[in-house]
Structure 1
Amino acid sequence: MERTAPAGRQAFSLLTPVPRELAGTGEWLPITGLRLGCARDCADARRVLPTSDTGDRPLHVTVTADGDVPAEGYTLAVEPGPDGPRATVRGADPAGAFYGVHTLRALLEERAGHVPRVRVRDWPALTWRGTVEGFYGPP
């Protein structure tokens, strides 16, 4: 697979924040539904992904929490398969699997009926997640 340059990352406009590592071929694999298999500790995936067991080329998704990335990180690989594309999400822990599934969902929303052939590795830069709401000046 070809490493996607930062400019190429714009092709996936719904990925926010942008993953640390994102490699793609530019190939979009057609899908007709989604079949999900997940370990018990990754049950949140069932609430995030719209599963439908229709058609002859469903996306086969496997979600586990046994990845080799830092805490709350994940890897995501989408490859062609004999009976439909295969997506594998491996979280470092259940939280990482959850974030990986959200990345897959965003990729599925980019182009209806297709999924991009990609490899993603991501993990948080900081231990604490949050936002800063600031207001500067008089109300």
Structure 2
Amino acid sequence: MSPNKLPSPWLTVPIFFGLFFGGGYVGIQVSRVLAPDSGLAEFVSFLTLPIAFVIGIVAWAGAAIPSAVLRLVMLVLRRDRSPSVEGGSKAIIPPGSSVFVPAALVTCLVAGTVVGAISPSLGFGWVLCLYMGLGLGYGVTCWKLASTGYLQFPRE
């Protein structure tokens, strides 16, 4: 992919929905292994990664605001220069996509605490570590996909 283009929507839309719905599916499968026959564990685990995804998207948009304000100030300060034509056509991926990592870690910390308290198979600490690892992996995946343009920045 060239630095001037974003990936095709035919690729980014399935990635978006795959991360959202796939997170719920993975959560249910993990809870079924760790706390079988627990409706509460399934419910909490089902919502954990999709909630992290939504929080990450919203926080990413919020983290991009200071960057946009800084760009606007820089444009005003350099108003004597005309903007370059090629600079306007370049695809811009806003910074701040790393917020997916703490969003996923916090939601998985909560879910790991709930599931760890009711899990008969492993101890509380192991379940919590497993959920934190799951959150770290999910957060880094979302972050890297967002920073490379495969997970699109929310628009109007």
**TM-score with structure 2 setting the length:** 0.28
Higher helix share: 2
**TM-score with structure 1 setting the length:** 0.31
Higher strand share: 1
Structure having the higher Rg = 2
